[in-house]
A and B are shown apart, each in its own frame.
Chain A
Amino acid sequence: MAKLVVRIPYVWMAVFFLVPFLIVLKISLSQTAIAQPPYTPVFDLAAGWHGVRSFLAGLSLDNFAFLGSDPLYILSYMKSVEIAAFSTLLLLVIGYPIAYAITRTPRRVQAVLVLLVILPFWTSFLIRIYAWMNILQHDGPLNQLLLFLHIVREPPAWLSTDTAVYIGIVYSYLPFMVLPLYATLEKLDETLLEAAADLGCPRWKTFWLVTLPLSAPGVLAGALLCFIPICGEFVIPDLLGGSRTSMIGQTVWTEFFANKDWPTASAVAVVLVCLLVTPIVVFQYQAMRGAERRS
Chain B
Amino acid sequence: MMRKASLFNLAALAAGMAFLYLPIVILVIYSFNASRLVAVWGGWSIHWYAQLAGDAALLAAASISLRIALVSASAATVLGTLAAVALVRFGCFRGRLLFAAMIYAPLVMPEVITGLSMLLLFVAVAVDRGFWTVVIAHTTMAMCFVAVIVQSRLVDFDRSLEEAAMDLGAPPLQTFLLVTLPLILPAIAASFMLAFALSLDDLVIASFTTGPGATTLPIRIYSEVRLGVSPEMNAVCSIMVLVVGLAVIAASLLTKLSAARGTPARA
Contact = CB atoms under 8 A, between A and B. Distances in A.
A234 B225 contact: no
Given A124-B201, A140-B38, A294-B156, A1 B79 contact: no
Contact of B237 (A6, A127, A284): A127
Contacts of B90: 2, 5-6
A209 B85 CA distance: 41
Could you say which interface size class chain A belongs to?
35 or more
Nearest to A96: B12
B86 A6 contact: yes
Interface stretch (A18-26, A54-62, A68-76): A18-26
Contacts of B19: 171, 174
A198 B152 CA distance: 37
A228 B38 contact: no
B17 interface: yes
B2 A269 contact: no
Contacts of A119: 245, 248-249
Interface in B18-35: 19-21, 23-24, 26-27, 30
A208 interface: no
Contacts of B46: none
Given A122-B244, A122-B248, A235-B204, A98 B12 contact: yes
B155 interface: yes
A157 interface: no
Contacts of A232: 109-113
Interface string B196-227: 01101101100110000000001001100110
Contacts of B5: 101, 104-105
Contacts of A128: 23-24
Contacts of B218: 124, 126
B234 interface: yes
Contact of B93 (A6, A135, A139, A287): A6
B140 A134 contact: no
A256 B2 CA distance: 56
Contacts of B120: 20, 23-24, 27, 262, 266
A233 interface: yes
B39 interface: yes
A190 B85 CA distance: 35
Could you say which interface size class chain B belongs to?
35 or more
Contact of A104 (B9, B197, B240): B9
Interface in B91-131: 93, 95, 99-106, 108-114, 116-118, 120-121, 123-124
Given A9-B79, A140-B39, A294-B156, A23 B26 contact: no
Contacts of A120: 20-21, 24
Interface in A219-235: 224-225, 228-229, 231-235
B160 interface: no
A36 to B, nearest CB: 9
Interface in A109-141: 111, 113, 115-120, 122-128, 130-135, 137, 139-141
Contacts of A148: none
Contacts of B203: 124-126, 235
Interface in A174-214: 174-175, 178, 190, 193-194, 197
A124 B102 contact: no
A14 interface: yes
A92 interface: no
A98 B16 contact: yes
B205 to A, nearest CB: 11
B38 A139 contact: yes
A120 B121 CA distance: 32
Contact of A228 (B6, B86, B100, B108): B108
B83 interface: yes
21 contacts: A1-B173, A2-B90, A9-B143, A13-B83, A13-B140, A20-B120, A23-B120, A101-B8, A101-B13, A102-B13, A117-B16, A118-B248, A119-B245, A123-B245, A124-B218, A134-B234, A137-B229, A234-B110, A235-B203, A239-B226, A280-B109
